Structures are given as C-alpha cells and as structure tokens.
Copies of this chain bind each other. A is one copy, B any other.
Amino acid sequence: MKAHTEYLVFNTVKKIEFVRITGQVENAVKKSGVKEGLVLVNPMHITAAVIVNDNESGLIQDYQDVLERLVPYRAKYRHNVGEDNAAAHIWRQLMGHQVVLPITKGELDLGAWEQVFYCEFDGQRNKRVLIKVIGE
C-alpha cells in the first residue's frame, strides 16, 4: 500500500469564499503514484468545508444565500461570546464537511461536472486542508 499526504494552506481575501481545488487534488494523486485507491480531502479547521459540486458562479452565490437564510451569519448564538463565527461552524456541517474521492488508473475518477471546492466560512487567516491518498 502507498500513502501520500499534503497540507494546503488558504488565506482568502473575503471572509466567505469558495476556492476550486480540483487541480491541487489531482496533483496530489499524481505525486502519490497510486493507481487504484481513495483520496480524503479534509479541512483541518472547523469553520470550513470541502465539497464536490458545480463550478458555476450563480450556484455558488445560491449556496451562500440559502445558508444565510437558514442560519443567518450575524444572528445571536451562544457560541458567540468572545467568538463571532458560530454560523460558520454550522454552515460547514450543513454543506457536508469533507469528501473522499476515487482514484482509478492513476486519475481522480470524477464525473464531467464534479469539481472540488474549499468552502471558507471564516477566512482572512491561514487555514489548512489535508489531502491523504492511499492505495496501490
């Protein structure tokens, strides 16, 4: 079995931002030399998510509109004593916080429109994402 680990760092310009990282995950898979296996893409901070969805700017705004409507960013939360990011913690759960992707014949085995995104919900500071490839 082979294993390969990478840590990406993001420091987004905006507090809330969606960053496409499919290419970085593909690069990690290439470097791993794994032909058949799985790759986990997991944010190491708990106010961010990694998702797979469409690279379409309208939809990316729709996500934020829905999250804001269901769990308003600036509402009152018990967590927000000294902190101000409770909604970011909750948004990342609603969006699904991590993904595991398949590797077939040495490539990420994704459908035509599957794109990997880092979803930052409390940015403007260094935050890490772990990529772990295992397989053979």
A23 CB, min distance to chain B CBs, angstroms: 18
What is the bound-complex CA distance between A54 and B36, given in angstroms? 31
With contacts A104-B5, A135-B134 taken as known, whether A58 is within 8 angstroms of B77 at the C-beta atoms is yes
Q: Is the C-beta of A70 less than 8 angstroms from some C-beta in chain B? A: yes
User: What 0/1 pattern do residues 25 to 68 of A give for CB contact below 8 A with B?
Assistant: 00000000000111010111110000111101111011101100
How many copies of this chain are found per oligomer? 3
Are B40 and A113 within 8 A (Cβ)? no
Are B113 and A130 within 8 A (Cβ)? no
Q: Main secondary structure on chain A at its contact with chain B?
A: mixed
Provide a sorted-by-A list of 25 A–B residue pairs whose CB atoms are within 8 angstroms: A1-B37, A3-B36, A3-B136, A42-B100, A43-B111, A45-B113, A46-B52, A46-B54, A51-B97, A57-B78, A58-B78, A58-B79, A58-B80, A59-B79, A62-B78, A62-B86, A62-B89, A62-B90, A65-B78, A70-B70, A93-B96, A96-B96, A98-B100, A104-B132, A134-B135
Binding site for B on A (CB under 8 A): 1, 3, 5, 36-38, 40, 42-46, 51-54, 56-59, 61-63, 65-66, 70-71, 77-81, 86, 89-90, 92-102, 104, 109-114, 128, 130, 132, 134-136
